Chains A and B, each alone.
Chain A
Amino acid sequence: MDAVRLVLGKTGHWTVRVESEQHTRYLHSQHDPVREARRLVESWGECSGREVIIFGLGLGYHIKEFLNLNPYCERIDVLEPRRPLLDWARQVTPEIFNDSRIVFHCANRDGLLRWLHMRPEASIHVHPPTVESLPTSQLKSLLQEMLVLRSSEQRYRQQLADNLRENSRNIHCRHVLQGCQDQYAGTPGVLVAAGPSVVDAMGFVHTMCQTGGIVLSVSRVLTQLLNHGIRPFGCVLTESSDSALNHFKDIPRSTTVPTLYALPTASPLVLASYPGEVVYVFQKGHDDVERMAQTFGADLFLTGGSVSTLALDLLYYYGCDPIIFTGLDLAYIDGKSHADSREVRSGMASYMVESVSVTGGRIVSTVSWQSFRRWIEEYIRAHSDRTYVNVSAGTHIEGTKAMTYEEALNYCKANTITGHKFEPSRVQ
């Protein structure tokens, strides 16, 4: 059990030390907790709703700053899993306890988890040191995921806007995805992700291509497929940075490449370097992109924050059934994160978590992979009119049927819609 202690920091401000068997961590700066709180609250941006939830009371420094910066917020629910902190915060920041807009909730982790699940995610703000100091739990994973996704959004916001502006010059009606819903209804669809197990899936993917399956690969794995003589139906690109240039740099010039399905916020440099046709796929949830989609009459897609999740929505859009996941490991396999990783990891880092593998054992994953898993599981629940098959080797994904390659091929053979004509892809 963790011990919490109220301690005096190096400059006379109060802070809290959380002592567990493995770690000793502080909840506030020992030098300037007020400045620290201001920076955190500023990073949350302007309060968009009238009601917000703040997870983690600490000693209340950030709650006080939040009130200063958001005087028009009408209600603030503060969630804190450790009861002593309420008493200590009452001494350190009494102002927040006199403010009628603030409601404090102290409950166990399961209680707080249930509470958070019932509220819209956009209204939840998180005190990161409180999250980091929690013991491993579902609550901690959920909050860590939230932090990871928000950091990523903040970091890429400007880059996405710049890319969209640059790409908008090259986007024409004939290059946007529209009106193709259910075009391949009943055809098996294969999502080829870049997890380590994809190297074992080449034979399977090859067969699926030859039998007319709709195979969509993520950009990172395209060269590998082409090198194995496999030309997928399409390749998906979401990467906004130029680092994705590496995904295509080794494609031989003479190779015929598949259509690239790219977000209009993808790196313009990478799009210009692609030696084939580019079709723009407009994402939901980005205001400028949605406006542009309206102009072109383009369909909108869910991105889910990763290239694999966009590929999943594309396969669903095309009407594919079943939808088969390959290389979607969302976990380290033999210490590797991706099929092309040179680095082999040993040991655990703070952003690593354990999850259940497809075989029912434990497997090492990361907070962000687990957030994608949750997104996919949510997607499957909301799109339950299809069958989802997982032939990857990593994390178990709820709602999918785990199969071997052979079982998946037999399943496709047995469940193909009669009368649908498959045109085998050209295999080089």
Chain B
Amino acid sequence: MVMLDGQQVAGVQSLSQLIEDVYRCNRYVRKLIVNGVERSVDDAVVLSLDETWVVELETCTLDELIEDTVASTAGMIPPLYQRLRAAVDAFRVGNIAEGCTRFAESVPSLQWNHAVLNQLAQLQPDGRSFVHEVSAEGERIVAELMEAWENEDYVTIADAIEYELLPWLAKWKAGVDLFQSQMKLEHMKDSFGGSRGLQ
């Protein structure tokens, strides 16, 4: 059984086909649940659909998808900031093992932020937005960090985190907060009958 935004859909041959149809209607997959388990789109498209399966697909507009992503980012940055701060504190006093652990814990969230920035940058191909600027700056800092990591140079790793990565994260968070407050304003306008103009 396949449910699309709460409505049962008949005659679905494959999940990849269904997802293609969603994209063709200028909508995006917000959530995909297969037999009660949330799956990523990449995982799900290779599954061959069984008639006994229960597939629930929730879609959204691009605006809603961006809003969701930005909301997740807003929630993710503060703990990431704390972990990186703890890594710096440990490196500065010579607690290398602790610093490496805290830094390693931060890497998945950092990668996630970079992926989000890349995706957002692709939406505006002119390459001159705030997102492009933050994305390029982030890549430069990560390259510097990686070089220091290869050298096991914990002084430079701490420097790169403290004086570059943390201010960069603060800047990105400020952008995210601004975006969220603008969206809030747009929603308020909507509720009074105005129009939205995100794209």
Contact = CB atoms under 8 A, between A and B. Distances in A.
Interface of A: 10, 23-32, 36, 39-40, 43, 126, 128-129, 131-132, 147-148, 151, 154-155, 349-351
B12 interface: no
B93 A151 contact: yes
A23 B94 contact: no
Nearest to B158: A29
B199 interface: no
Nearest to B154: A132
A25 B94 contact: no
B92 A147 contact: no
Nearest to B91: A128
A132 B96 CA distance: 10
Given A23-B152, A24-B151, A147 B159 contact: no
A155 B92 contact: no
B106 interface: no
B93 A40 contact: yes
Contacts of A36: 92, 155, 158
Contact of A25 (B92, B93, B96, B155): B155
A25 B151 contact: yes
Contacts of A128: 93-94, 96, 154
Interface of B: 89-90, 92-98, 100, 151-156, 158-159, 162-163
A404 B151 CA distance: 42
Contact of A151 (B95, B152, B158, B159): B95
B155 A129 contact: yes
Contacts of A31: 159, 162-163
Q: Please give me the 7 A-B residue pairs with the lowest Cβ-Cβ distance, nearest first.
A: A128-B94, A43-B93, A151-B95, A25-B153, A26-B155, A31-B163, A23-B151
Contacts of B153: 23-26
Contact of B92 (A26, A39, A148): A39
Contacts of A147: 94-96
A350 B159 CA distance: 19
B96 A29 contact: no
Nearest to B163: A31
Contacts of A27: 155
Contacts of B151: 23-25
Interface centre among B90, B92, B154, B158 (most CB of A within 10 A): B92
A131 B154 CA distance: 11
Contacts of B94: 40, 43, 126, 128, 131, 147, 151
B127 to A, nearest CB: 27
B152 A132 contact: yes
Contacts of B155: 25-30, 36, 129
Given A25-B153, A27-B155, A29-B159, A151 B92 contact: no
Contact of B97 (A32, A129, A148): A148
A15 to B, nearest CB: 8
Nearest to A148: B97
B98 A350 contact: no
Given A25-B151, A155-B98, A30 B93 contact: no
A30 B160 CA distance: 10
A350 B96 contact: yes
Contacts of B97: 148, 151, 351
Nearest to B99: A151
A266 to B, nearest CB: 21
Nearest to B90: A151
Contacts of A350: 96, 100, 152
Given A25-B156, A39-B93, 6 more contacts: A26-B153, A31-B163, A36-B155, A43-B93, A151-B95, A154-B95
